[in-house]
Structure 1
Amino acid sequence: MNKITVLVVDDDPEIRDVIQIFLSNEGYHVLEAENGMQALEIFQTSPVQLIILDVMMPHMDGIRACLKIRETSKIPIIMLSAKEEDIDKITGLTTGADDYVTKPFSIMELVTRVKAQLRRQSYSVKEPEEDVISVGDLIIDKARHQVTVKGKKVSLTPLEFSILDLMASHRGYVFSVDKIYELVWKETASFSDNTVVVHIRNLREKIEENPREPQYVKTVWGVGYKIEK
């Protein structure tokens, strides 16, 4: 059986070495790059199932590399950064990253998130009875993994699509942030960050005419989010 290949991109060789050791011990095949340009070259020539991508690197940083990868692929990407400000987290996830880890990080936490992303990627979800879900002018075509608003196609990341699909398939149900994380990321919500909130914000920017007054993804203050019946 072929091993899952993870591409680790960081200009710090010590960080790459530590990640490589722990991922190899978990049975993964690890490729390494020290900047975004090298990462793109490896990605274009080698089969890779997940990328761990540092933000701050010479020649080409992680943000630009992530944007280039997202032009052709929906591969899971976990961003690394030494900056903890929320704006950096939002910037990283807006590029299409699936998760975000700040430095210094627990290597076991990173391994856990790698497993969660790969599990989500390979998870076979039972299709609900509705193959096409309509919520006003919002149309979700599950078979084609396609979303349109007023007839215009909207490009969503896999996680954004999964969040939208989850709520649209259970209209009227209020999902807490923790429940969304558990159902979409397939992992217990044990990390104190705002990853789900950022994804909801990005989703609204793409599907709502006015994200500040959302028509589709509603906030139930103090509880969570829902799509109304």
Structure 2
Amino acid sequence: MLPSSRFGEFSMYMIIVGAGSIGTSLIEIAVNEKNNVVVVESNPERARDIQDRYDITVLSGDATSAETLREAGSERADALIVTTSDDAVNLMVVSIAVELKIPSTVSVVNRKEHADFFRKLGANVMENPEEVVAHHLYNAVKRPNVQDFAILPEGAQIFRLKVAEDSPLVDRSIAESRQRELIPDSMQILAVSRDGKQSIPEDDTVIQQDDLLTVFSLEQVSDKLIEKLTG
């Protein structure tokens, strides 16, 4: 039985299409966050597995059918997230979701050249998740002092780095580091974690050894700059 309303005990009513590796991870997060989740999965075996693991509604059916999305509760849904490995399926589901006036649609896009088709429909996209994971693994090995590395649209990057004892940032304010051109204009320090506490830095914030910096860069950061900053 479907939930009667998007409001109430749960924070969001979400329809998740696809219960592969990405979809399953998303389902677990959404359920743990107390969202109201309905899953649509075309593979009966996968659908049964999700139904056995979670106390949620699971439909074994074709999400490219408007009737299936209506059965999933499209009129009450706050969001629909499509996670299959087939961009044609994902695009069709997003198109139907737009017609059904689901407020927010998000889709995995497996090939970058398809992303604009999704954006034209108003969907938020997650481009090529396998490539994102590959980049993350590669950077974890290549840059051990860099954590939670992510590539954003148009070449921007966000990551966390730990400041070593011999880093030129140590005992200097952010303003001084900029004056000395240690921190380029394209880079912004968003947060400083120190002794388990996180704060938003000001220009006069002094960086210390073992600080964990959350950094945003408008352009790709070179290995040379990473080595320079981390020490």
Q: Tell me, yes or no, whether TM beats 0.5.
A: no
Compare the two structures and name the one with the higher helix fraction. 1
Q: Rg bigger for which structure? A: 2
Compare the two structures and name the one with the higher strand fraction. 2
TM-score normalised per structure 1: 0.39
